[in-house]
Amino acid sequence: MELANLVAFTTDLKNEDDDKDVSHMIHIIDTEHPWDVYSINSGHAEVISCLEWDQSGSRLLSADGDGQIKCWSMSDHLVNSWESVLCSSLDGDPIVALSWLHNGVKLALHVEMSGSTNFGEKFSRVKFSPSLTLFGGKPMEGWMAVTVSGLVTVSLLKPGGALLTASESLCRLRGRVALADIAFTGGGNIVVAATDGSSSSPVQFYKVVVSVVSEKCRIDTELLPSLFLRCTTDPLRREKYPAVTHLKFLTRENSEQVLLCASHQSGSIVECWSLRKEGLPVNNIFQHRSPVVGEKQPTILKWRILTTTNDLERVSAVALPKLPISISNTDLKVASDTKFCPGLGLALAFHDGSIQILHRLSLHTMGVFYGSSSSSSGQRPGDESTIKRQRTGGPALHFKALQFSWTSLALAGVDNHGKLHMLRVSPSMGQVLEMNTTLRHLLFLLEYCMVTGYDWWDVLLHVQPTMVHNLVEKLHEEYMRQNQALQQVLATRILAVKASLCKLSTATAARACDFHAKLLLIAISSTLKSLLRPHVLNTPDKSPGDRLTEICAKNTDTDIDKVMINLKTEEFVLDGPPLQSLQQLIQWVGDFVLYLLANLPNQGSMVRPGFGFMRDGASLGMLREMLVMIRIWGLLKPGCLPTFTATSDNQDSMQLLFRLLTKLWLCSRDDGPPQDADESLIDECCLLPSQLLVPSMDWLPVNDGVIVKLQGKHPLRLQFGKASSLPGAGSTAPLEVFTRSPGSQKMDNLRCVHMGVCPTEESKACTRCGCVTMLRSPNKKRHETVGTALDQKLSVWRPVEEDPSNTHLNTSLT
């Protein structure tokens, strides 16, 4: 499952008859279908103070002002199905900071190596230890929280599902903690930053070590160097900023850089600090003695200020980048030269409704957003008249919470009126770039998402229809340059990326059908081959599926029965029930081969689905292998064979299709230059519709999500509970293969079965590709293998027909 871009936010709903009866709701949306909001009555007794996603986006932590922490888990990959599976509590002690424990996985994105052909050089694995490990080094899951009274609590998830919980004071003298944040070190330790909210008080740092001793959780804490804000040491500003309103580590894996914001009623100031190792000066008495060989000067850790801003408007929210970009001098220089900005900027939201993007190290302004209510949102930051108009107009809207997406190309925020906003953040921060440079930046981020598994939805926000073809071709070129093992790992993921790109343009929509069909083809092939078992007990060097591939690749005979002679047919012996249960998948393979061959004479048309398979030797070879398997299984149980409507009773349909498919495969084999199909093959394919009835393939529908409607520059306003009916930018009449009449049959795209005109079974749809399937299998053990294989390329699912009940919430997408 991709790490989906899900947004969670909370609201408090009061009972009109009883003001004390307040429901604390958690709302979850998927960014591709923002009008579908899924609301959970959290059951929290007090206001929810913290929400925290895990790395996969399938679990969510919520904490409230009464010290209760709940872990919500997604059920069956359904974005509208959540349940509270675990909880911990510190009664009466409000939670101020919350975080999942680190799993030890950390990547560094190197802008300097963006031109390299090796993914391993672009995205390197950084040595990083988990917060806690099980036997064998496996990271232990759990979460950690800091309370307002100065307690740190840790809950660990044991493999059996039990929860180990422990609490400990951050220091011997407990004090009030108004703000806190949690970061992790490469050695597996945890660092907590805490302040009592007063700018005149020190910001304290603590090292927290978690361990399991005798089946009990143990917490050890240690005081680290603290700091005082720079503004409190300035005589002119000592009393100007009395409160610390925001405290954040710059990144989750960097405990050595912290961002602090001090505020008063109408203004704020932001400071960036860094922890450095400095030499400890030695008294003059000890400087005159002769030095000892190997002796080093003693050092001490000390906080030093990196930079500070001028006086700003009052800050209402802070968002830090999630993209793990390397900040080495070389990488920063290349990023500056190529104007690559993702991951380098942090966002500050102000009470006047504006948002500024500041460089994470220098804090200089990279971009400004003046709010959707202003007509000057496109103005440059230096336009003083624009800023004055905003201040005198005094818009009431401002952001209460702000978050960057995975690649920092989008900002999600909730304002003080309960509206949800999505802002597009330019990769170059509005700087004019050449088309090749823009494509290189987007390609770099698509490769990062493909390697890591993060959702690339926010990257698609910046892809224009004219870019789609070049991006798909360049992505394929980079993929083919990787080693064979990595290509096999990324085989299905790159198809999903290509399909989502092709849906952005009507000129490439048919190619999206081909990529989805290939995903299904790979899943079915893996399922059928996994049923093969070696005849003898001792495991051979190659599995039956591998031997089948090898023999079919070497044997170029067009007679399917002659190819069968070279196979050990005893490895294909299966019981009757499994074969019969696979008949729908076998039928799809037969229909797909027939469709491709019948459309071979029309291969000059680029808009027809199936064109991409005509020169794809690997896919044609895969289809050829499956026809051989199906032929053998048909001898064992004729009922599993695909059915064709032939004009002649003595027509051997499988033999005919295999012969024509083999001829087409020989023209596009990987071991030789591609060739055009000869005239005799095209003539035979022209006669095919007169011999067999060519089926109509049920291609996936056009994406009904919001991404195709955001290609323009104008803001898009939506409402929860009401799906957008606006057409996509530059859209034209849909292709014939995508149209559906009201009385047409509904298709289960995953199991390849017809559900009828008015299905009685509950259905679900993929939030990204639109694949529709039944929520529950009609037979408990039927087709579950192919479902699991396809789930590798699907993100979260949503119900096909469900009316959201929360229509009182509005959203604005820009």
Please report the DSSP string for 263-279 in residue order: E-SS-EEEEEEEEEEEE
How big is the CA angle at 746 (ends 743 and 748), to the nearest 5 degrees? 175
Tokens of 166: 């422990």
Q: Which amino acid is at 81?
A: S
Write down the pLDDT at residue 750. 86
Tokens of 100: 């999942």
Tens-place pLDDT, residues 585-632: 999 999 999 999 998 888 765 567 888 898 899 999 999 999 999 999
Write down the pLDDT at residue 701. 66
d(CA 614, CA 607): 13
- 557 alpha carbon, distance to own chain's centre: 45
d(CA 70, CA 400): 23
188, 201 contact by CB (below 8 A):
no
Q: Which amino acid is at 414?
A: V
Write down the pLDDT at residue 804. 36
222, 152 contact by CB (below 8 A):
no
- Residues 115, 117, 122, 127: is their CA dihedral positive or negative? negative
Residue of 677, 705, 701 whose CA lies nearest to 611:
677
- Distances in Å between the Cα of 562 and the Cα atoms of 406, 535, 626, 627, 669 are 53, 21, 15, 13, 20
Tens-place pLDDT, residues 683-725: 999 999 999 999 888 777 666 788 888 877 778 888 888 887 7
- Residues 454, 456, 458, 462: is their CA dihedral positive or negative? positive
Q: Mean pLDDT, to the nearest integer, of 385-396? A: 44
Write down the pLDDT at residue 695. 87
How big is the CA angle at 291 (ends 289 and 293), to the nearest 5 degrees? 155
* Backbone φ, ψ for residue 507 (5° rounding): -70, -25
* Backbone φ, ψ for residue 100 (5° rounding): -75, 150
How big is the CA angle at 245 (ends 267 and 45), to the nearest 5 degrees? 130
Write down the pLDDT at residue 217. 92
Q: Mean pLDDT, to the nearest integer, of 15-42? A: 82
Q: What is the pTM of this model?
A: 0.88
pLDDT at 779 over 90: no
Write down the pLDDT at residue 442. 96
Q: Which amino acid is at 420?
A: L
pLDDT at 775 over 60: yes
Tokens of 669: 């084999």
- Distances in Å between the Cα of 168 and the Cα atoms of 62, 90, 557 are 21, 11, 74
236-242 long-range Cβ contacts below 8 angstroms, 24+ apart: 237/269, 240/264, 240/267, 241/199, 241/267, 241/268, 241/269, 242/198, 242/199, 242/200
* Backbone φ, ψ for residue 318 (5° rounding): -130, 135
pLDDT at 657 over 90: yes
Q: How confident is the model at residue 385 (pLDDT cuts 50, 70, 90)?
A: very low
Q: How confident is the model at residue 468 (pLDDT cuts 50, 70, 90)?
A: very high
Mean pLDDT over each residue of the chain, to the nearest integer: 84
For residue 174, the surrounding DSSP H or E stretch is none
Selected residue with higher pLDDT from 629 and 234: 629
Tens-place pLDDT, residues 286-336: 666 666 666 677 788 899 999 999 999 999 999 999 999 998 999 999 999
* Backbone φ, ψ for residue 654 (5° rounding): -60, -40
Q: How confident is the model at residue 232 (pLDDT cuts 50, 70, 90)?
A: confident
Percent of the chain with pLDDT over 70: 85
Lowest mean pLDDT among 107-116, 283-292, 443-452, 475-484: 283-292
pLDDT at 799 over 90: no
Lowest mean pLDDT among 53-62, 383-392, 625-634, 751-760: 383-392
For residue 614, the surrounding DSSP H or E stretch is none
pLDDT at 730 over 80: no
pLDDT at 34 over 80: yes
Q: Mean pLDDT, to the nearest integer, of 56-82? A: 92
Tokens of 654: 């499988």
Q: How confident is the model at residue 780 (pLDDT cuts 50, 70, 90)?
A: low
Tokens of 811: 């959203």
Tokens of 352: 């006047």
Maximum mean pLDDT: which of 3-17, 611-625, 773-787 = 611-625
Q: Which residues contact 778 (CB under 8 A, 6 or more apart)?
A: 753, 761
Q: How confident is the model at residue 173 (pLDDT cuts 50, 70, 90)?
A: confident
Residues composing the chain: 814
Tokens of 24: 């604390």
Longest dimension (CA), the chain: 109
Q: How confident is the model at residue 741 (pLDDT cuts 50, 70, 90)?
A: low
Q: How many CB atoms lie within 10 A of CB 5?
A: 24
Three-state DSSP state, 525: helix
Q: In this structure, are strands 82-89 and 95-100 parallel, antiparallel, or unpaired?
A: unpaired
* Backbone φ, ψ for residue 630 (5° rounding): -65, -35
pLDDT at 521 over 70: yes
412, 422 contact by CB (below 8 A):
yes
Write down the pLDDT at residue 672. 67
427, 442 contact by CB (below 8 A):
yes
Phi-psi region of 294 (alpha: psi -120 to 50; beta: other; left: phi over 0): left
Instruction: Show the DSSP H helices in 277-383 as ranges.
Output: 284-287, 329-338
Q: Which amino acid is at 52?
A: E
d(CA 187, CA 210): 12
Lowest mean pLDDT among 253-262, 344-353, 752-761: 752-761
Q: How confident is the model at residue 569 (pLDDT cuts 50, 70, 90)?
A: confident
Instruction: Kindly give the interhelix angle for 784-791 and 509-530, rounded to the nearest 10 degrees.
Output: 130
pLDDT at 372 over 70: no
Q: How many CB atoms lie within 10 A of CB 687?
A: 10
707, 671 contact by CB (below 8 A):
no
pLDDT at 391 over 50: no
Write down the pLDDT at residue 143. 95
Write down the pLDDT at residue 180. 96
Burial 8-33 (b: 16+ CB within 10 A, else e): bbbbeeeeeeeeeeeebbbbbbbbbb
Tens-place pLDDT, residues 79-132: 989 999 899 999 889 999 999 999 999 999 999 998 898 999 999 999 999 999
Q: Which amino acid is at 236?
A: L
d(CA 695, CA 745): 14
Q: In this structure, are strands 420-424 and 810-813 parallel, antiparallel, or unpaired?
A: parallel
Q: How many CB atoms lie within 10 A of CB 681?
A: 19
Measured distance between the N- and C-terminal CA atoms of the chain, rounded to whole angstroms: 27
Instruction: Kindly tell me the burial class for residue 484, based on how many C-beta atoms sit within 10 Å of its own C-beta (0-12, 13-18, 19 or more).
Output: exposed
Instruction: Show the DSSP H helices in 164-265 as ranges.
Output: 230-233
Q: Which residues contact 607 (CB under 8 A, 6 or more apart)?
A: 507, 509, 510, 735
Lowest mean pLDDT among 37-51, 156-170, 530-544: 530-544
Write down the pLDDT at residue 797. 67
d(CA 764, CA 794): 12
Three-state DSSP state, 561: helix
* Backbone φ, ψ for residue 549 (5° rounding): -60, -45
- 318 forms bridges with which residues in the sheet? 348
Residue of 786, 748, 777 whose CA lies nearest to 528:
786
pLDDT at 375 over 70: no
